[in-house]
Structure 1
Amino acid sequence: MPRRSAEESRENLVDAAIRVMVRDGVAAASTRAIVAEAGLPLGAFHYCFRSKAELLHSVIETIMAKTLPPTVTDGAAPEGDGRRDPAAVIGGSIDAYWRRIQAEPDEQMVTYELTQYALRHPELADVARAQYRQYRDVFREYLETIATVADVRWNVDVAVLARYGFGVMDGLTLNWLIDRDDAQARAALDEFAGYLIAAAEPRGD
């Protein structure tokens, strides 16, 4: 099978797996169900993936690519000293992040279901660990980009801030998926933005 065809088959299988999981749940996403959804022979799965765990990693990465890393806005026009307003950069970036979460609620639900499914199956425990490790790594890059754009530094260790920050956003996402209360989500996001603004200080010359 040509390399390009193999890559296309992998993408088709991942997309098919996401459709099955969104429609029927993670537990229903058997190998046979996924290849049937993709319109491919069963052998294509074993050619493209060494295991179902490898497929689940790819599913998580694909969903993450749509929401993480979130857009980092450059805020309002530069101030008199040429710097961007940190509050505008942080607030605008959180808004952009949240819009991407809201755009794909069904896929967001799949990520939580994948975590629980992996934790209940010892052979897939590394999937959940890798999933959240990658989330934290990407959120750390997000914070570092905000700091660069806003010309600030964090007064909290960035690794700790990334774990805390992603924990906040992860919890807010789950709450919103449950109650779809946009007003309360917005209020909580504003509180988190205020925390980040307080944790940012001018980088200095």
Structure 2
Amino acid sequence: MPRVSAVERRQDFVNAAMEVIASRGIDGATTRRIAEQAQAPLATLHYCYNSKEDLFADVYEFVGSRFQAVLDGSDPHSGLAETARQLLRGVLSCYFESHTFAAATLELFSWAQRQSENRGLGVYERAFETMRGILRKAAPGDQLSSEAIEDIVNVITSLADGFALNWLTRGDDSLADDKINLVTAVLDSWLADRIAQEATAR
């Protein structure tokens, strides 16, 4: 049997942690359960990670990298409205492609907010900064103020997180596409009004 590298094994534990967190919550995500989910000895988990906190740091990094990859795939040359739409659909796709990812991510953010070191905030801030940069490139000239860009970022993330919670609660995958279209239409309508406000203010 080929030897599994430490990097591969750590990814196995991150994937397993996401599964356990999604099904049992943070409090139920013991190292023993995570090792069992990864089909690995508990001693191997402790060899790879000094503590559960170190493992969770990699879990947050994994969540952040998934969002980052989607955001980096947006095309700022397609115009402001279409770029904002791409960003929203990209974040939604992270949630929609996996119940496990959606449930674990929302659980992680909720739990982190209650801790002294809010790693979830770090994930949010990196995503926010990426979106700000993409929207600045998409807005021609001085079309948008920094306040407007911040508003767009906040609306995109609020719509995406609200969708994810609604989707998980109701559990109807067949309606997901309709909901995505509805959420995108809400963004389109709000964005048109926000851009009009900017034009009036100039």
TM-score greater than 0.5 by the shorter chain: yes
Aligned residues of 1:70 and 1:142 also touching (Cα < 8 A)? no
**Structure 2 CA distance, aligned partners of 1:143 and 1:136?**
10
Deviations, residues 75-132 of structure 1 (Å, cap 9, x unaligned): 8xxxxxxx64322232233233323321112221112223444566xxxx145x2212
Aligned residues of 1:74 and 1:150 also touching (Cα < 8 A)? no
Structure 1: tracts of 5 or more residues without a match? 76-82
**Structure 2 CA distance, aligned partners of 1:164 and 1:93?**
11
Residue matched to 1:195? 190
Residue matched to 2:136? 147
Residue matched to 2:105? 111
Change (3 A) 1:126 1:167: farther
**Structure 2 CA distance, aligned partners of 1:167 and 1:133?**
17
SS of 2:35's equivalent in the other structure is: helix
Is residue 186 from structure 1 mapped to residue 178 from structure 2 by the alignment?
no
**Structure 2 CA distance, aligned partners of 1:169 and 1:199?**
19
**Structure 1 CA distance, aligned partners of 2:129 and 2:180?**
22
Larger relative contact order, structure 1 or 2 (CA cutoff 8 Å, min sep 6): 2
- What TM-score results when the alignment is normalised by the length of structure 2? 0.71
Identity of aligned residues (%): 22
Residue matched to 1:74? 75
Is residue 97 from structure 1 mapped to residue 97 from structure 2 by the alignment?
no
Change (3 A) 1:85 1:14: closer
Structure 2: tracts of 5 or more residues without a match? none
**Structure 2 CA distance, aligned partners of 1:177 and 1:73?**
26
**Cα shift at 1:172:** 3.0
Residue matched to 1:133? 122
**Structure 2 CA distance, aligned partners of 1:184 and 1:12?**
32
- What TM-score results when the alignment is normalised by the length of structure 1? 0.70
SS of 1:70's equivalent in the other structure is: helix
Of the structure 1 ranges 36-45 and 65-74, higher mean CA displacement relative to structure 2 is found in: 65-74
Deviations, residues 160-197 of structure 1 (Å, cap 9, x unaligned): 65445423432232223223554455323322244345
Residue matched to 1:78? none
**Which amino acid is the alignment partner of residue 82 of structure 2?**
A
Change (3 A) 1:85 1:111: closer
Aligned residues of 1:18 and 1:59 also touching (Cα < 8 A)? yes
Of the structure 1 ranges 108-117 and 148-157, higher mean CA displacement relative to structure 2 is found in: 148-157
Residue matched to 1:60? 60
Aligned residues of 2:99 and 2:168 also touching (Cα < 8 A)? yes
**Structure 2 CA distance, aligned partners of 1:184 and 1:42?**
41
Change (3 A) 1:41 1:92: closer
